Amino acid sequence: MKAQKVSLGTMDWETFQKLDSRQKAGSFNINGRPYHVLVAQQFGRKFLEELGDLATFIRKIAKTKAGMDFLQKQLSHKAAMLYFSQPSTRTFLSFHSACQILGMHTVEVRDTSTSSEVKGETQEDSVRTFSSFADAIIMRSAIGGLAEKMAWVLSNTDRPVPIINAGSGKDQHPTQALLDIYTLRRSFEKRGGIDRKKIVFVGDLARGRTVRSLAYLLTNYDGVKQYFIAPPQLQIGKDIQDILVQAGVDFELGSDLGRHVAEADAVYMTRIQDEWDEKKGESQKIDNAKYYFTADHLRRLPAHSVIMHPLPRRLEIDIAVDRDPRAVYWRQVRNGMWIRVALLAFIFGCENSILKNSPKAGS
């Protein structure tokens, strides 16, 4: 059943908040293109293909000085606020670099102790302040649902600007899922694409927002089977299981990586996210020994498969695996920059200019 489209400006926050992500998703897009970027549910297969095509096109023209000079003129009249109140390395640098490639000016707040929040300013007021100086706010927070709340706040003001969720509590990380899909697409482009592949998720799946977002995005592809390998305490949540059931996805829950590694097209490793422990040290009591990717797993992994990880990692992948061409987690990092360049281009409507007017397109 098609989800009912709702508008951010037609109901109060308490009512809007109670809707499920599918019901909300349509209100984050305008005329089929993303305005706010908040949940994986707002992206369909057509857009994922267009976004990937644009990212690949951009990375090609960026290899020349003329191409890079052209790209840096596309959004030189725009500014982005990077509001990262939760620690980040890859996502912050990826977005910052993506803005620079398109010529966007950036301002940032990475420590709320240096902002007026330390004086008691609410986050709603902080974000409204940021909107006075920026044309988009890219935000990462340990508070679940905060990006969505800020999108609702700004959409009900006289200066609405796009909010891009760069990680929100344990909820979702939609742009990580976009780069993961792009990595899978590029990895499987000679094997018929993502359709009918077997994806094995391993580790802390209950609290891994990257897994939550990617598991949903994979429902856009035909015949993909998903395996969730985790300790019982860290298994994927019922909310995601319900989404997969509703989408008719074939999936299995388990605790034995070795059982599935020989048939996997992709193994998506994750770390134990003990920063979400309700009691300090409780994750250390979980036996994680079976959830490490070892040299033995590597020997059994098919030659065509890939090993992924959203990073940072700890001990969940043997460092010797890094030298194997099937390890694509460093490639994921770079893919993230290009997919975010393409996403910003779509948000600000310059994708057609890039496709039609770039030096490469005209050569």
pLDDT for 183-203, tens place per residue?
A: 999 999 999 999 999 999 999
Which residue in the list 45, 56, 64, 90 is annotated as catalytic? 90
Tell me: do 121 and 259 sit in the same domain.
no
Tell me: do 39 and 117 sit in the same domain.
yes
5: in domain: no
Q: Is 122 one of the annotated active-site residues of the chain?
A: no
Its pTM stands at 0.91
Tell me: do 249 and 210 sit in the same domain.
yes
Give the model confidence (pLDDT) of 53-77 as tens digits: 999 999 999 999 999 999 999 999 9
- What single DSSP character describes residue 203? S
Q: How many domains does the chain have?
A: 2
CB 209 within 8 A of CB 141: no
Tell me: do 18 and 72 sit in the same domain.
yes
* CATH number of the domain enclosing 322: 3.40.50.1370
Tell me: do 133 and 56 sit in the same domain.
yes
Q: Is 91 one of the annotated active-site residues of the chain?
A: yes
Domain range for 180: 174-274+285-332
The Cα 211–Cα 166 span in angstroms is 14
Tell me: do 319 and 346 sit in the same domain.
no
Q: 83: helix, coil or strand? A: strand
Tell me: do 54 and 183 sit in the same domain.
no
Give the model confidence (pLDDT) of 9-54 as tens digits: 677 888 888 888 888 888 898 887 899 999 999 999 999 999 999 9
Q: Is 119 one of the annotated active-site residues of the chain?
A: yes
Tell me: do 158 and 219 sit in the same domain.
no
The Cα 133–Cα 155 span in angstroms is 16
Give the model confidence (pLDDT) of 210-237 as tens digits: 898 999 999 999 999 999 999 988 899 9
Tell me: do 84 and 117 sit in the same domain.
yes
Q: Distance between terminal CA atoms of the chain?
A: 46
Tell me: do 149 and 289 sit in the same domain.
no
pLDDT at 5 over 50: no
Q: Is 140 one of the annotated active-site residues of the chain?
A: yes
Tell me: do 195 and 126 sit in the same domain.
no
